[in-house]
Structure 1
């Protein structure tokens, strides 16, 4: 470890001025130190060296919640993160808790790398999640809600409204809400209703005239009505469920209302997918969508005051136990609070950010006088979203390709795209203009199956060749290829990115993309698209790292090579940025590299199985996570390689699913200026002291603080640089 400009041996505590001296000491050197020999006996697959994937994900969500709690953030930015936390936790329960519950029901006893069985994991994550959800409500009720009220954005109870305001909202209820409601009462003639996933409901216990029995009814809050009912022209609201609650006499006239309470159900998204049984991937996607509607319940959120009498029919009919019930003070479901961020109060928000044109591409062809293909052929172009505009870079690439008479073919891989996608429209335009168009649409993109199914069917209707993914793999790569006839022959123009072809997420997600006319990269993409459409598997690629294929092997080789340089007493370094670090083999290789003396700096947004800072194991590894206004989404991999540096960007995290079970692509960066830019991005992330969190060996995170230093916010700096680059153009 480095302390006071000295490197200390974890075994004998002798200090050295340089890392190279420490490495030489560790590797033999007649010093009498036995640390290296001891390391050979360490079992790096032991569960004590691995963090839980599920608990690591919860730790990330805890960092997201902190952005809502942090009073230094603008008020509506805090509201945004309050909503994001709900969305994240919903997804966590649907995916991770759902999967654990499935394994638990199937009596799976296999342990994960961190040593836990599914039943142990299930119990632990429910226990960890409970105080987090309670803290979210506390954040709103004892801080954020009061701050909104003080800022003139009032969320009122019905009783807080003046009589004229009550008259106003009651009339709105009668005219616009009551006709959309369908109360469902359980009795001998009516079975328990289906409760749809993530729907907000009001439960009602009532006695009706002439009937001594107490009935349970469920009223679903309609999703096509605003959750925040505006009062007059003010920023003064009542929640929809509170308005319904206040008007139960209109729904159950003459009945005695004994109790009402809100509840919300979360269902498992990990439905079983038998690709061998399904006739084709289209049928599989349709079945997945249908199965999710009726999947197992994995969580029941109920209003804190709900009685056991009301809870009992829910537990019985939803087939869940008390551990899966979360009693929370209202309101339930903060995801709809995102609509408050649309209020026109700029003083309550971060300064607005509009993605800038790339300095080499400008606002379009008229601005530069050259086509995008001329620009790419001259030099590779690196784009960085949302600092650079998606519309004037990636969208322009497809726009020009669709109309350029010299373009022969366009191929693209679509994992997720916007519901009103201009990307899809340009591919259709290209086909209408006589181009050969082939599109890989991934029907197994979770929660986007229905959207992608619709796009795939529309593309086929336009005569475009569509591949629906591959049996056994999910296609996650973000690649596009344009084939263009030019004076000196057919040229290949490639785009390889870290993010989806999605115009909306490109404004909120941080991603990188490379435009290149490199022939070898283009030929690699030709092979990759042939695999999509013809199932012709290639094991060798000239430039790209492809999974399944050469990606895992090449990453392992690069890590081991750094370890060899370190053992030889040479400077050795690995720096990487990704969403998740989960693959046990990669973690073990990083541990061995650290033991050899390789300096390893990682930026891992959420899940991280690796424990940094373990003496003799990972003291040369640092891990930081950045949670900021944009979702950090790019993947960057750097290896010093004895001075012959290697840089890659791509779609794959260091996860088992990405390296073995998905089709992924990473592209090397050759241009010196672009390499310098990527190094700069890594350095900014690693030096951030306002939005970065350091991972501790026990899996906890400590947020960095500037202290006496100058504040360094990586995203703020990148926005400033994008504006400055535009000014210099």
Structure 2
């Protein structure tokens, strides 16, 4: 067998897939859910909205970053990458709107859910829309006719706007030909029509954009509207602060948040029938090249159609309701007594996050608890867990909260919580400037008969009540004093900025995590070279770090069998003879967002299992504070393997396999095979009455 030469100088294209195109391939897999006829119609619409939301962030962050690099460096390779991204994005968007217009909306109409456009409205509906426009919309509109005294207005990131071409003279006898109309952000984008106006007893809606379209001429008395189009601009939304100059990160970020809405333009969306001269006018205003234009066959912001999903009351059009299970409890024992008896493993969303909330709430009110320490990356605007921390601080407990202010798109919520926590008397620290604190840790210190005891929660996901119902994650509640001591050392490190002591069990980034991962991979390679089985199974959200990938390639060449379950971007090329023939990569896209990170190493039947907050990305390993923690209890270790890994390797319903050319191929049950869905299996195993401790 020919072995592919692999060293630091190997051409990247020969051994790595393109990261951005790999991320777009993930969105193609999500889009396939919108095409899947097994999925209820409103959920198919939701997947279309998810793709739009993902693409927004892709442009706001990844494309914006590449364009900024291109502006600084004349790099033909970067230009070629941007061209490939543009081609793939245009194809993806075209397919997205085709699914919406030819499948989802017609099938919803057949089920009595109507998104009524202006030309399809009957006389009564048009009269109602006109009245709504006059009473609720027109008073909030401020058309701007462009002239030297009325320059092109500031357009907020991802806002809905209209460009209008006018004929004739304005009220002052001048030929102002272009006007801009901003849609009010306070109004809903999806408007429900009265029941008596719905067809056949169904439910009818219209879009705010359609309402404004229908009556845009009413805004320009005495002028003829020649043409018009809705438009939306996407801007660079990454926040940046000068680490050398900033004195107070929270105050600096408050200022930066104001400017996020007006970052550099990176994409322009217009209606499909927008005249070329208007499109070009907008491209010129936003300094965008022609390939940054997306002419779409429908509303320019599909994300807002999620409002329709929330309004429709037809259970058959949604996933069946799912009630998360609760872990089995030891009779008459509180949370601390339970943790004394055994560690508690939680598998969300199949098991409720309520146990974690109870842990913090009980700690907040327990007079024996003297201190609570917690990291917060994302938690949402409303959080009972954060309120419990505030209560604990007000009651005189030592409360320390590491709030990550740079959690992308959650900065404002985190700043608000930081303010409230400080007002309550909590010690609030904003992590490490330049390193996002992404670790998911909570520590309770309790005074007991024989001294102070640690009780810890370590997780793979955020302390966010909404995402805990939508994302798959693992959490561990433990009273293991060695692990608790490690967690406390991490908090001391984050607050004092001192070098952390040697940890007993935790792998901590940016100091040791990458090194420990590679060491574990190389250990499996050493075992395989000696003629014994080497085995690695990893479940993560993304795999793009070159040092880890090279270690995996080397282990594959030594005979280690490697399965990688990677939800999103993966730049490793699997199945290449002499390079990665022992590596398989699959992605699972289902009802819930796969979010847990699991590292499994067979290690001579020791079966080492680590759960982690970190994906195998360079940013996670070197530019974030991350923690990987072992599952030490043998019973719980078997549970992680049986629930978090094996079902996903068996899935032939929602899984996709990656080939060396970067394409994904969907697994399907063949012949006499029974269709198997990992998520469905876990819902049945752990949901409602099937609690497992």
TM-score range, shorter chain: over 0.9
Q: Which residue of 2 aligns with 1:697?
A: 660
Aligned to 1:174: 134
Which aligned pairs between 1:452-491 and structure 2 lie closer than 5 A? 452-491=414-453
CA contact (8 A) 1:359 1:725 kept: no
Q: Secondary structure at the match of 2:518?
A: helix
For the Cα contact (< 8 Å) 2:145–2:179, is it kept in 1?
yes
Q: Whole-Å Cα distance in 1 between the matches of residues 145 and 419 of structure 2?
A: 40
Q: Please give the per-residue CA displacement for 1:553-601, whole angstroms capped at 9, x wherever unaligned.
A: 1111100000000000001100010000010000000000000000001
C-alpha distance in 1, partners of 2:692/2:30? 36
Report whether the alignment pairs 1:264 with 2:232.
yes
Residues 459, 163 of structure 1: alpha-carbon distance in 2 compared, 3 angstrom cutoff: same
Residue by residue over 1:137-176, the C-alpha shift from the partner in whole angstroms, topping out at 9 and shown as x without a partner, is 1111111111111111011112221212211121111111
Of residues 637-646 and 232-241 in structure 1, the stretch that sits farther from structure 2 once superposed is 232-241
Q: Which residue of 1 aligns with 2:314?
A: 345
Cα drift, residue 411 of structure 1: 0.2
Question: CA 1:151 to 1:667, structure 2 compared with 1: closer, same or farther past 3 Å?
Answer: same
Q: In the alignment, which residue of structure 2 is the partner of 1:53?
A: 19
Residue 472 of structure 1 and its aligned partner are, at CA, apart by 2.0
Matches of 1:300 and 1:42, distance apart in 2: 41
Q: Is 1:376 aligned to residue 339 of structure 2? A: yes
TM-score, scaled relative to structure 1: 0.91
CA contact (8 A) 2:325 2:689 kept: no
Post-superposition CA distance 1:110-143 (Å, at most 9, x none)? xxxxxx8332222211111101001111111111
- Counterpart position of 1:186: 146
Figure out how many residues of one structure are paired with residues of the other and give that number.
Answer: 681
Structure 1 position 76, deviation (Å): 0.9
What is the DSSP-based 3-state SS (H/G/I as helix, E as strand, rest coil) of the residue aligned with 1:295?
Answer: coil
Aligned to 1:683: 646
State the Cα deviation string for residues 613-635 of structure 1 (Å, max 9, x = none). Answer: 00011110011001111000000
CA positional deviation for 1:727: 6.8
Check 1:40–1:315 CA distance in 2 against 1; reply closer, same or farther (3 A cut): closer
| Aligned counterparts of 2:314 and 2:110: Cα–Cα separation in 1 | 13
Matched position secondary structure for 1:431: helix
Paired residue secondary structure (1:130): helix
Q: Give, in whole Å, the separation in 2 of the partners of 1:185 and 1:62.
A: 41
- Partner SS state of residue 437, structure 1: strand
1:312-363 per-position Cα deviation (integer Å, ceiling 9, x unaligned): 33122211111111112222211011122222111111111122222237xx
Superposition RMSD on alpha carbons, in Å? 1.7
Partner of 1:386: 349
Deviation at residue 72 of structure 1 after TM alignment: 2.1
- Paired residue for 1:151? 111
Contact 1:262–1:303 (8 Å) recurs in 2:
yes
Unaligned runs of 5+ in 1: 1-10, 12-34, 110-115, 362-367
Structure 1 residue 726, shift from structure 2 partner: 2.9
Separation (CA, whole Å) in 1 of partners of 2:419 and 2:226: 51
Partner Cα distance (2:623, 2:692) in 1: 45
Structure 2 CA distance for partners of 1:404 and 1:585, relative to 1, 3 Å: same
Question: Alpha-carbon deviation of 1:250?
Answer: 2.8
What is the deviation of 1:308? 2.6
Q: Distance in 1 between matches of 2:692 and 2:101?
A: 48
1:106 and 2:72 correspond: yes
2:500 maps to 1:535: no
Provide the rounded CA distance (Å) in 2 between the counterparts of 1:564 and 1:727: 40
* Alignment match, 1:397: 359
Cα offset for 1:40?
A: 6.5
Q: What residue is the counterpart of 2:607 in the other structure?
A: 645
Task: Show the counterpart of 2:260.
Answer: 292
Alpha-carbon distance change, 727 to 552 in structure 1, aligned in 2, over 3 angstroms: closer
For the 8 Å contact 2:145–2:176, the answer to whether it is kept is no
The answer to whether the Cα contact below 8 Å between 1:52 and 1:609 also exists between their aligned partners in 2 is yes
Give TM-score, length-normalised by structure 2.
0.96
Map of 2:595 onto structure 1:
633
Aligned-pair distance for 1:45?
A: 4.0
Q: 2:454 aligns with which of 492, 516, 538?
A: 492
Q: Is the 8 A contact 2:269 2:296 kept in 1?
A: yes
**What is the CA–CA distance in structure 2 between the aligned matches of 1:212 and 1:432, rounded to whole Å?**
65
For 1:74, the equivalent position in structure 2 comes to 40
The residue aligned with 2:302 is 334
1:41 to 1:266, Cα distance in 2 relative to 1, 3 A: closer
Distance, in Å, in 2 between the alignment partners of 1:45 and 1:524 is 39
Where structure 2 has 5 or more consecutive residues not aligned to the other structure, the ranges are none
Spell out, residue by residue over 1:439-480, the C-alpha distance to the aligned partner (whole angstroms, 9 max, x if none).
000011111111111111111111110001212211000100
Q: Is the 8 A contact 1:281 1:469 kept in 2?
A: no
Equivalent position to 1:716, from 663, 680, 687: 680
Tell me if structure 2 keeps the 8 A contact 1:595–1:617.
yes
Structure 2 counterpart of 1:89: 55
Instruction: Name 1:31's counterpart in structure 2.
Output: none
SS in 1 for 2:400: strand
Change in 2 beyond 3 A, CA 1:714/1:728: closer
How much does 1:281 deviate? Answer: 1.3
Deviation at 1:272, TM superposition (A): 3.7
- The C-alpha deviation readout for 1:660-695, integer Å capped at 9, x for no partner, is 000001110011111111111200011100000000
What secondary structure, in the 3-state scheme, does the structure 2 residue paired with 1:481 have? strand
